[in-house]
Amino acid sequence: MYTQCSGCATVFRITPGQLRQAQGLVRCGVCRQEFDALPSLAASLPAAAGIAAQRPPTITSPELGEDLFLALPSVPSEAATVGVPPPRRSGLLGATALLLVAAVLVVLYGYLMREELGRYHAVRPWVELLCGVAGCELAPLRDVGSIHILYKNVEASPSADGLVVHATIVNDAGFRQPYPQVRFRFLDPVGAARASPWFTPDDYLPAQPPPERAAGLPPQEPVAIRLHVGDMDLAAVDNFVIDLR
């Protein structure tokens, strides 16, 4: 059942137990005014009520007898829902807008810093995904320091002047990377270093199909190198190094 404050006209739900305890005299939970709940008591929510039914009013000292309460009609106890204002959406819209702005800034930063971020193996898949959408180019991962020489040997060229260099390299990185350029430095008998030109993968992998060379050096797979180095003294066979870049 319902009653209405005589001071601020706020409508309240009230139970027979509360009326019995207060003997009809209650205090408004909105304006704090004490009023008699019985004159405005109704079994249903007034049709003209423009606000939601509030919590039960604060019960004050009883002033009415139980006989009057016993004559009141009983009504179902379901809660009234009329006049409930819709939840505000401005906060949700603001938070959504901030999230969208933050996402745009992250994507823009990733695009501008794609080359630097692409060097990190952990975030590279995300950068590749971004470039796939944006249509940008991403340089392949490269770590020449993880390419090691397992074997090397030099011998005199059987058919021409100069030397033939044999070497085996392996990529210890956890990803494919471009084949390196290779150079040989020899130390002649008088201690002077002589360096060969830089050789490209096309020079030392002529038998490998171009698509395989373009795919890069696979991890943990030894690759054999054989190159002819002209204009080198056979005396340098025992003292040489291999440079990679």
The residue segments making up the domain with residue 128 are 90-134
Structurally, the chain folds into a number of domains equal to: 3
Alpha helices (H) along 1-89: 16-22, 66-70
CA dihedral in degrees (134, 139, 143, 144; nearest 10)?
170
Query: Do 61 and 105 belong together in one domain?
Result: no
Query: Do 191 and 217 belong together in one domain?
Result: yes
Which of 205, 198, 197 lies closest to 179 in space, CA to CA? 205
Contact 118, 127 (CB under 8 A): yes
Contact 147, 169 (CB under 8 A): yes
Query: Is 0.95 topped by the overall pTM?
Result: no
Tens digits of residue pLDDT in 59-101: 444 444 443 333 333 344 443 334 445 556 677 888 888 888 8
149 or 237, greater pLDDT: 149
Query: Do 125 and 164 belong together in one domain?
Result: no
Query: Do 171 and 231 belong together in one domain?
Result: yes
85 or 7, greater pLDDT: 7
Would 75 be classed as within a structural domain?
no
Query: Do 184 and 233 belong together in one domain?
Result: yes
Average predicted confidence (pLDDT) for the chain: 77
Q: Give me the pLDDT at residue 201, please.
A: 94
Q: Give me the pLDDT at residue 80, please.
A: 38
pLDDT above 90 covers what percent of the chain? 20
Would 80 be classed as within a structural domain?
no
